[in-house]
Amino acid sequence: MKLKHFAVAGLVAAVVALPTAASAADMAAGKAKATSVCAACHGQNGVAQIPTYPNLAGQNEQYLVMALKAYKNKQRTGGQAAIMQGQAAALSDEDIANVAAYFSSLPAGGK
């Protein structure tokens, strides 16, 4: 019975620690990287000017991380994937976390 309690306590501790780990991203570094790499297609404020490009402002942080890693690993194909694969290949895991944190912090729709 005690082992079960320790397992539950460990799981709870891990879940509680997740938001802290996610907030460790450097949004200033993410903004700098986004301005130099992402803004041409996704806009300075994360709102794309071209209708076929997605808005990133206000997007879920973990979704952005997963999407960028999938592009980087060439697991995501179709549409603009070839462009995104090239862009994501130049990003480190830290860059990806920072960019995702930055875009998720912006108001959706740029407002």
pLDDT single digits (tens) 51-104:
999 999 999 999 999 999 999 999 999 889 999 999 999 999 999 999 999 999
Spell out the domain ranges in the chain. 26-110
Structural domain 26-110, CATH architecture? Orthogonal Bundle (1.10)
pTM of the predicted protein model: 0.76
Task: Name the phi and psi angles at 29, rounded to 5.
Answer: -65, -40
Q: What are the residues whose beta carbons fall under 8 Å from the beta carbon of 79, sequence distance 6 or more?
A: none
CA 19 – CA 14 distance, rounded (Å)? 10
pLDDT single digits (tens) 32-41:
999 998 999 9
